[in-house]
Structure 1
Amino acid sequence: MLETYFSASKMLGHLRSGPSRPYLDGFAAALERQGYGSETAVRYLRAAAHVGHVMAERDASVSDIDLAAFEQHLRTCRCPRARGGRRNHHTIYGARLFRRTSKK
């Protein structure tokens, strides 16, 4: 399902090797079912991958996403794949939506 939104094998490899990997295809399918446009879905999927890495760094699982900790991380983020940790409504909302979807 991720191939619907990402064509670069390097990015697909990154997404599929991170802590959020077990949930990303299902999250992508949920975004498609809910009618999100591809640009928005890409932003949300990137946020989902990012929040997974942040939680892993804090020894937490994806099922224990702490949005306050993620927002705090974004203030000083220098993660190379997160484009400087862009902190905007897409990043926060994408992480929130991912948390809700991954708990089902």
Structure 2
Amino acid sequence: MKEKSIGKREYTEEFKVEAVRLVESVGVNEAARRLGAPTATVGNWARRARKEGSATSVALPGLSKRPISELEAENSRLRKELAEAKLDVEILKKATAYFAKGSR
């Protein structure tokens, strides 16, 4: 039997910078859990950022300088909005099925 090899995941520089910013606010373990990345990988990014200087001083084009709590609040708001949209779609599907059944 052949074992499936897991391909090497590649992360964008922007993702790494945001991950380091998250590490600075909540710690390595929590940041890795939230991002779904290995703890060792996130820890290496944070260690490298400390060695090179502050992660927040790295300027990437289009990277927002908003605090993590503000980003988490926006993420929460967008999740609620998505849930409402999914509920609307589900209701419309049921209504469509109901009216299609009644027209026969």
Query: Which of these two proteins has the greater Rg computed from alpha carbons?
Result: 2
Answer yes or no: same fold by TM over 0.5.
no
Higher relative contact order (Cα pairs below 8 Å, separated by 6+ residues) = 1
TM-score by length of 1: 0.29
